[in-house]
Structure 1
């Protein structure tokens, strides 16, 4: 259960931010266009990428030695430091949502959703590399729980921001709310960074 919760909060910290994909999902919720389809594509894609990262590191873990482990932990720490710095630097950003409703075909919305998901370089660094690398030393059963927790966070997040976008619009548009969320993410990721640093030192 602890690894399920760890995966959930780690996954939520990675996804709980205003990026291109999340803005797109919120906008579809505000427009009431293909909400379920957009959410399910984003959520299943995250699940696939999360377990892809976990299985890749599980497979290549058979070839790891202490030097490779150290290099991966250093890269993990650098990633976390960069991630935290990025969260700090976007504190001044303004949020704008496009609510203009335009006709779009089923094929068009599927293509657009897949593009926002798989053409986003952060999805590979955050989801595949970070979650796979972070869970590399867990027992195989704990990796499943960790991945499941992160996947649940994605499903919950996408469906919540899309279907509740109208009622949450007051908060979704608030720079103050997102700044407070960012501070929580920075705190959580800083704790993970300290944990990784401890692993490097020892």
Structure 2
């Protein structure tokens, strides 16, 4: 049980950092669009990567070379720039506040969620390599507890920020507020893109 708590707290400390994936989940919550699907994809992805890292760390550690990390960073930068450009082109008048709005179809949202999840090298460094390295000396049983704790923190975090954003969205049904939110998202994503660019160069 101690390792379950340790895994929970360790996973939570890693996932609390503001990142592109978290911002995307919050945005979908505010828009009330496919929140459950987005949170579920992020949570399951983390679950798979966490246990992949915990049980295969000693093998994967040799493959995550600086070259592989560079490739992921370049792909993430391209993905972020594409997303930012899309937000810049979006007009606030096109934003719908309807719960059943389908301005973004499901396949598009799934692709974006997977992109924000698997094109981010920090997802691998946090879940696969940090947690894998951290738990490498644990016994087989303790690894299960540790991984379960980290996975639970991930599930709770994504669903809380997703549905908490949905709750607060009812106070944000204003074009002016949404314009400011859009600007903030562009600002955050631009900072993240700049950070990724600095890592590349």
TM-score by length of 2: 0.62
CA distance in 1, matches of 2:60, 2:125: 17
Q: In the alignment, what sits opposite 2:22?
A: 22
**CA separation of 1:166 and 1:139: change in aligned 2, threshold 3 A:** same
Give every structure 1 segment of 4 or more consecutive aligned residues whose post-TM-superposition deviation is greater than 3 Å.
Answer: 58-61, 98-102, 166-170
Is 1:147 the equivalent of 2:147? yes
CA distance in 2, matches of 1:168, 1:18: 19
Is 1:129 the equivalent of 2:119? no
| C-alpha RMSD of the superposition | 2.4
Size of the alignment, in residue pairs?
Answer: 135
- 1:99-138: per-residue Cα shift (whole Å, max 9, x none)? 8447111110110000000001100111100000000000
Q: In the alignment, what sits opposite 2:118?
A: 118
- The Cα shift of 1:60 comes to 7.9
Q: In the alignment, what sits opposite 2:138?
A: 138
Match of 1:54, SS state, is helix
TM-score by length of 1: 0.62
Is 1:10 the equivalent of 2:26? no
- The Cα shift of 1:57 comes to 2.7
CA distance in 1, matches of 2:19, 2:60: 31
CA distance in 2, matches of 1:146, 1:43: 16
CA distance in 2, matches of 1:39, 1:11: 16
Match of 1:11, SS state, is helix
- The Cα shift of 1:166 comes to 4.1
Match of 2:17, SS state, is coil
Contact 2:49/2:127, CA 8 A, preserved across alignment = yes
- The Cα shift of 1:167 comes to 4.1
CA distance in 2, matches of 1:113, 1:127: 17
Match of 1:17, SS state, is coil
CA distance in 2, matches of 1:144, 1:57: 14
